[in-house]
Amino acid sequence: MYNQIFKLHAQLLKALSHPKRLEIIHLIRDQELPVSDIHTMLDLPQANISQHLIVLRDAGVVKSRRDGKQIYYSLSDKNIIKASDLLRLVLIDQRQNLALIDELTLKMNDLVPLVHDPVCQMRLSPQTAGFSYRYSGKTHYFCASGCMKKFKESPGKYAKE
């Protein structure tokens, strides 16, 4: 019995073991998104997004529904995001214990304020943000790599001074 649970656990972790798949689950942590939005936010070819979504769907991490031509994805279980957030806490604690000085050494209490991704306006917190980028003395938080890339290409368009 335990052996079977360990195998299932390993399969789930394998499905989550790619940075882009982790980005996807964080994009849909509080919402359902169509593939086209995920594609835009991650700035990856749609075929790659589809492959990652298939892996996540086959592992039971996400569920999908069709509405016309659009396919929408959401988390199959909210505990997945709780598990991911706990792993982030472990990583932050490890970095603090190693005395590495960077953004990850912030205490979780400092990560509470809500912000908006300056590109897509998704509501997030520094804790849930996929990426951050410092521009003009201010740290901007992004839901995914595609939004950060767009910001870097034209920061004046998105940065509120």
Whole-prediction pTM: 0.71
Each residue of 85-137: pLDDT tens digit? 888 888 877 776 655 545 545 554 454 557 888 998 888 877 778 889 999 88
pLDDT at position 68? 93
Domain presence at residue 83: no
Strand partners, 135: 138
Q: Which pLDDT score is estimated for 96?
A: 65
Helix (H) or strand (E) holding 70: strand 70-75
Q: Would you say residue 90 lies in a domain?
A: no
Contact 80, 61 (CB under 8 A): yes
Domain span at residue 146 reads 110-161
Average pLDDT of the residues of the chain: 85
Q: In the chain, how many domains are there?
A: 2
> How large is the average pLDDT for residues 26-54?
90
Q: What pLDDT does 15 receive?
A: 94
Residues 68, 117 within the same domain: no
- Distance, in Å, from the CA atom of 99 to the CA atom of 126, rounded to the nearest integer, reads 20
